[in-house]
Amino acid sequence: MQEIDIPRRLVAEAIGTFFLLATVVGSGIMGETLADGNAAIALLGNTIATGAILVVLILVFGPISGAHFNPAVTLTFALRREISWSHCALYVAVQIVAAVAGAVVAHLMFDQALIQSSTHLRTGAGQWTGEIVATFGLVATILGCLRSAPQAVPYAVGLFITAGYWFTSSTSFANPAVTIARTFTDTFSGIHPDNAAFFIAAQLAGAVAATFLMGWLLKRP
């Protein structure tokens, strides 16, 4: 990735993260509107759209920026010394700003108040554990595929998040930028601002654990 200058990498991260959040929030609004009170159907619509857009975004922007779209993933590559800490900080800043922008534009598309504060409570040891598991699994998926089948990363990530929506108690946020942005939407995908810090701490813990464990597992003899 060294041959691609940092401004282009940051723009790629911004566009990708923007579309990720526009999809997460927008499909949540659409799903809830069309499901007529059936939360399972709304979640299914949200799940399919999110998994699908991840495949597309990683295919498009992976060759430019690595397609992190996620501070936890960027932290992983910084810990592995595959991105500098200064570039890590820039990636994270861009990801957070773009994520909030994606949520705002989703509101605009559906004629809602642009800036909202979520009232959707998501808290408790079960959900925090869900976020540790979700982020650990996401990072393990990325690192494992990069070692054995790099071309499969977009599909593996999309499939893991699709599954994670259903097998984790937290519906698999697995992304601090996504978590922050979702505090700004009082829609199906929102999370109460007071609950975000514990989600982010769990996500970072899962990412760090996966980084070191997978580094050991995949270490070449």
Does position 221 have pLDDT exceeding 90, yes or no?
A: no
Contact 58, 19 (CB under 8 A): no
201 residue type, one letter:
A
Overall average pLDDT of the 189-210 stretch: 98
pLDDT single digits (tens) 79-118: 999 999 999 999 999 999 999 999 999 999 999 999 999 9
Query: Would you say residue 99 lies in a domain?
Result: yes
* CB of 153 closer than 8 Å to CB of 77: no
- pLDDT in the model for residue 220: 80
Distance CA 173, CA 168 (A): 10
- The answer to the question of residue 139 being in a domain is yes
pTM given for the model: 0.96
Containing domain of residue 126, as a range? 6-217
| Residue carrying structure tokens 């990412």 | 207
**Domain-located, residue 97:** yes
- Residue 182, pLDDT > 70, answer yes
Tokens of residue 56, six digits: 């597309």
Q: To the nearest whole number, what is the mean pLDDT of the chain?
A: 97
Q: Among residues 173, 17, 185, which one has the least CA distance to residue 98?
A: 17
pLDDT at residue 1 in the model: 43
Give the pLDDT band (50/70/90) at residue 60: very high
| CATH number where 207 lies | 1.20.1080.10
> How many domains in the chain?
1
Identify whether 1 is part of a domain.
Answer: no
Burial class of residue 211, CB neighbours in 10 A (0-12, 13-18, 19+): buried
